[in-house]
Chain A
Amino acid sequence: MSRPMVRILIDRFFGALIVLSVMMAAIPVLVLLLFVVIKGLPGLLTPGFFTDPPFPQGVPGGGVFNAIIGTLEIVVIGSLLAVPIGSLIGIFLSEYGRNQIGDAVRFISDVLTGLPSIAFGIFGYTVVVLTTHHFSAISASIALAVLMLPVILRATESALVLVPQSLREAGLALGAPRWRVTLEIVVPAALGGIVTGALLAMARAAGETAPLLFTAFGNDIVQTNPFQPMGALSLTVFRNALVPYNNLQDQAWAAALLLVMLVAATNILARLYVRRSQH
C-alpha cells in the first residue's frame, strides 16, 4: 500500500473513532432519560402521588406530597438567603473588586464551587444542627445557600462586567451618584444574566441529596415548619430505592422523574429568560 493511502486510512479511522466516542457520550443520556420516563410515568400518574403523604412500609398507595413541599420550601428559603447576598458579592466584584480582596473572594468562590456536595451537608450539620440540637429544614437551606453562592456571584459578576462602560459614564455624567448608576442602570442592564445564574443555582440545589442527608434529614409527615426535619424529593428517591417494597421503589422512580422535570423546567426557564432579555 502506498504511503498516502495509509495516511488516508489512518485519517478515516481517526474520524470513525471520534464519531464512536460521540455516540458513546450521547447514549447514556438517552438511555438514562428513557428509563426514568418509562419507569417513573406510571407512578407519577397514580392517584394520590402528588397529594398524599407516604404511607407506612408495606401499605400500598401513598404519595410524595411531603417531599414536594419540602423541596420547594428548602430551596426557596435557601434562595432567599443566597440570591441577595450572592448578587451583592457579584456587584462588589464587578464594581469594586479589581483589587486583592476581589481576588481573594474569587479564589474562595472557585474553591467552594469545587467542594464535594457532602461537605456542605457537614457544614450545615455543624453550624446549625449541632448548635440547635435537632435536624431542621433551615439547616438544609443554609447548606444549600452556601452551595448556591458561588454560582450566583460568578453569574452576576460576568453579567455586570459585560455592561458597556459608556452606560456607566452616561449615568455619572448626568450627575447620578455611583450607587444609583449601579442599581438603576448597570444591574437592570445585566438582569438577564443575574436571573439566569440564580435559576441555574436553584435547579442545582433542588437536585442535591448529600447536603440534605443530615440537615433536613427527611420526614414522612407533611411538615412546613422550617425548624423541624423535612422531607425532600431527592431524599425520597435515595431512601425508597434501597427499600425492598415494589410500590416504594416505583415511587422512587416517579419522584426521580418529577425531580428531573423540575430541574429541566428551571433550566429551560433560565434559558428562555436569557433569550428574552437579549432582545
Chain B
Amino acid sequence: MSQGTAKRVAPTSLLVASRQRRLISGDRLFRAIAYVAAALIIVVAVIFVIALFIPALPAIMKFGLGFFVSRTWDPVRAQFGALPAIYGTLVTSAIALVIAFPIGMGAALFLAADARMSLLRGPLSFAIELLAGIPSVVIGLWAFFILTPLMRDNVDPFLEHTLGFLPFFQGTASGYGFLTAGVVLAIMVLPIMIALSRDVIGAVPRALREASLALGATNAETIWSVVLPYARVGITGAVLLSLGRALGETIAVTMVIGNRPEISSSLFSTGYTLPSVIANEFTEAVGNVYLGSLFYLGLILVLITVVVNVLARLLTWRFTGSEPTAA
C-alpha cells in the first residue's frame, strides 16, 4: 500500500510543478494585459496633445503669442486673435461664480451643517443630482427660449434702472450676451459646487462644532468662525473645479451668448467664448490658418482648464490629506 502511494506521489509533484508554472504564466499574462490597458490611456493623452497641437501649427506660426492679445477675428481677411474669446470666457465664468458661490455655499451648509428641516435634505440632494444629469443642450434650449426673453424684458431693464450708473449695466439689452450666459453657467456649475462643498463641510469634525456650540456660540457664529475657516481650502478647491467646468462649457453658452467677437464692459453686450467660437465656426472654417486658429483656441482652452483643474485637485488633495492630523 505504501508502495502504491509512493508510485503516485512522484508524478503528482511533477504535475504540480508544471501546473504552478502554468499558473504563474497566466498571472504574468494578465498583469501584462492590465499594464497594456494602463499604457493605452497614457498613449491617448499623448495623442490628445498632438491632435490639438499639430493642426494649430499654421496659426501658431503666423500669429505667435500675439494671438493672445489681438482683438481682430476676421475670417474674410484671415486675421485672427483670441482676445475677444478669452475675455468672454473669463467674464461669463466670473459672473457664474459670483452668482453660484453664495447660493452654493448656502445650500451646502444646509445639507451638511444645518439641523433644521432635515426632511428636505433628501429631495434637495436628489434635485441637485437631477440638475447635474440634465444634458447641457437641454439647458441651452431652455435658456434660449425661456431665459433670454426674461432677461431682455425684465432682468436687464431692472438692472439698468437700478445699477445703470455702473459701466456693466449700460446699453441696449437683446437678452443674448455675457450676463445671460453667466446666469446659465451659474445654474450649470451649482450641482458640482454644492456637492463638493457639502462633502468638504461634512468633513469638518463634529467635535469642533459641538465645542463651539457648547461655548455658547450661535449656529451662525459656529459656521462663520469654526466650520468655514476649517473648510476654507477645500471650498477653494470646489470653487476652482466649478470654474473649470464653467470655462469649458460649450453648447448652452453657444446658444445664448450671441456669438460675436466683441469686447465690451457692458454685460448686456453679445460676445464669444473660447468653446463657442470652436463649436460655431469649426465646420465652416476654410483654409489652414482659419482652422488652425480654432485649434489654437482649443489649445488655449485646454491649457487653462488643465491648470485650473490641477490646482483644484492639489487643494482638495491637501485638504483631505491633512485631515487625519487635524482631527
Quick one: given A96-B31, A153-B41, A177-B27, are A11 and B47 in contact (CB under 8 Å)? no
Q: Is A22 an interface residue (CB 8 A)?
A: yes
Quick one: given A28-B131, A260-B138, are A11 and B220 in contact (CB under 8 Å)? yes
A85/B279 in contact, CB under 8 A: no
Q: When chains A and B are docked, how far (Å) is the Cα of A18 from the Cα of B121?
A: 13
Query: Closest CB of chain B to A133's CB: distance in Å?
Result: 14
B103/A24 in contact, CB under 8 A: yes
Residues in A with CB closer than 8 Å to B51 are 122-123, 126-127
Q: Is B40 an interface residue (CB 8 A)?
A: yes
Task: Point out the residue from A10, A35, A88 that lies within 8 Å of B142, measured CB to CB.
Answer: A35
Query: Closest CB of chain B to A128's CB: distance in Å?
Result: 10
Q: Is B185 an interface residue (CB 8 A)?
A: no
Residues in A with CB closer than 8 Å to B310 are 111
B275/A210 in contact, CB under 8 A: yes
B275/A118 in contact, CB under 8 A: yes
A118/B194 in contact, CB under 8 A: no
Task: Point out the residue from A26, A97, A182 that lies within 8 Å of B124, measured CB to CB.
Answer: A26
B26/A177 in contact, CB under 8 A: yes
Query: Closest CB of chain B to A113's CB: distance in Å?
Result: 8
A111/B309 in contact, CB under 8 A: yes
Query: Closest CB of chain A to B31's CB: distance in Å?
Result: 6
Q: Is A217 an interface residue (CB 8 A)?
A: yes
Interface of chain A: mostly helix, strand, loop or mixed: helix
A25/B44 in contact, CB under 8 A: no
Q: When chains A and B are docked, how far (Å) is the Cα of A264 from the Cα of B132?
A: 11
Q: Is B104 an interface residue (CB 8 A)?
A: yes
Q: Is A29 an interface residue (CB 8 A)?
A: yes
Residues in B with CB closer than 8 Å to A19 are 110, 116-117
A92/B131 in contact, CB under 8 A: no
Query: Closest CB of chain A to B82's CB: distance in Å?
Result: 15
B283/A214 in contact, CB under 8 A: yes
Residues in B with CB closer than 8 Å to A213 are 279, 282-283
Q: When chains A and B are docked, how far (Å) is the Cα of A146 from the Cα of B43?
A: 12
Residues in B with CB closer than 8 Å to A217 are 283
Q: Is A244 an interface residue (CB 8 A)?
A: no
Residues in A with CB closer than 8 Å to B41 are 85, 89, 105, 108-109, 112, 149, 153
Residues in A with CB closer than 8 Å to B255 are 238, 241-242
Interface residue count on the B side (C-beta < 8 Å): 88
Q: When chains A and B are docked, how far (Å) is the Cα of A8 from the Cα of B221?
A: 10
What mask results when residues 230 to 258 of chain B are scored 1 for a CB within 8 Å of chain A, else 0?
A: 00000000000100110111110001000
Q: Is A72 an interface residue (CB 8 A)?
A: no
User: Which of A14, A21, A26, A118 has the largest number of chain B CB atoms within 10 A?
Assistant: A118
Query: Closest CB of chain A to B217's CB: distance in Å?
Result: 9
User: Which of A113, A126, A256 has the largest number of chain B CB atoms within 10 A?
Assistant: A126
Q: Is A17 an interface residue (CB 8 A)?
A: yes
Q: When chains A and B are docked, how far (Å) is the Cα of A127 from the Cα of B26?
A: 35
Residues in A with CB closer than 8 Å to B109 are 18
Task: Point out the residue from A111, A113, A115, A253 that lies within 8 Å of B141, measured CB to CB.
Answer: A253
Task: Point out the residue from A117, A179, A206 that lies within 8 Å of B248, measured CB to CB.
Answer: A117
Q: Is B177 an interface residue (CB 8 A)?
A: no
B135/A209 in contact, CB under 8 A: yes
Quick one: given A118-B298, A208-B135, are A15 and B219 in contact (CB under 8 Å)? yes
What mask results when residues 32 to 45 of chain A are scored 1 for a CB within 8 Å of chain B, else 0?
A: 11011001000000
Q: Is A61 an interface residue (CB 8 A)?
A: no
Quick one: given A11-B218, A209-B136, are A116 and B34 in contact (CB under 8 Å)? no
B52/A122 in contact, CB under 8 A: yes
| 11 new A-B contacts at CB < 8 Å, known A114-B309, A118-B298 | A11-B219, A17-B106, A18-B109, A95-B34, A116-B301, A123-B52, A179-B27, A207-B137, A208-B135, A234-B251, A241-B145
Give 16 pairs: A residue, B residue, CB < 8 Å, sorted on A.
A18-B106, A18-B109, A21-B102, A25-B104, A25-B124, A25-B194, A85-B41, A102-B38, A105-B41, A114-B248, A119-B302, A122-B52, A122-B295, A123-B48, A259-B137, A263-B135
